[in-house]
Amino acid sequence: MPQARLIRKYSNRRLYDTVGSRHVTLDDLRQLIVSGEKIKVIDDRSGEDLTRSVLLQIISEQEQFGSPVLGAELLEMIIRFYGGPMQALLSRYLEQAFTTMLQQQEAMHSELAKALQTPLVPLTELARKNMEMWDQMQAATREAFSGKSSDDSKAANRDDRKTRNDRKKGK
């Protein structure tokens, strides 16, 4: 697991990124997290881990000033789980659900990127399969109506394909 980026929180409530050697805002931390960084926020005096508290501040700020993800009804439902026997189950369920959703999102982005790089490959493959089925159908029809053996129809099928290929090449 990658090492978390250490952020120190000073008594004046300022946050300091020890890797970037600079003061940062909650939005800077949000950008780091969005880009895939893990962070760990430590109180400079006591050494207390403040990561959860800062992450909740980031979420609260996004919900208040950004595009909200958590509606009032959902927040009420989450609050009802606190202190109940299902609290641990909810936490594991939400973590697994988000992990699965992120994996599916990554897979979708990957497939979309492949499709945009080579947009005609699926259509080319489909056309090839359609031509094979057409050839098989023609051979079966010829065999059914002419009474030729399957060896004769295979030879005729090869001749048909050769004629089509010659036409494509302009011969």
Average pLDDT of 86-100?
A: 90
CA distances, 119 to each of 125, 131, 163 (Å): 11, 20, 29
8 and 32 both lie in a single domain: yes
Q: Which H or E run includes 45?
A: none
User: How many CB atoms neighbour CB 13 within 10 A?
Assistant: 6
Is position 78 within any domain? no
64 and 48 both lie in a single domain: yes
Contact between 109 and 115 under an 8 Å Cβ cutoff? The reply is: no
Is position 79 within any domain? no
pLDDT in tens, 14-68: 999 999 999 999 999 999 999 999 999 999 999 999 999 999 999 999 999 878 8
112 and 135 both lie in a single domain: no
Q: Which amino acid is at 88?
A: A
pLDDT in tens, 142-161: 877 776 555 555 666 666 66
pTM of the prediction?
A: 0.61
Angle at which helix 26-34 crosses helix 51-65, to 10 degrees, equals 100
> Which range of residues forms the domain containing residue 139?
121-169
43 and 105 both lie in a single domain: no
Quote the number of domains for the chain: 3
110 and 57 both lie in a single domain: no
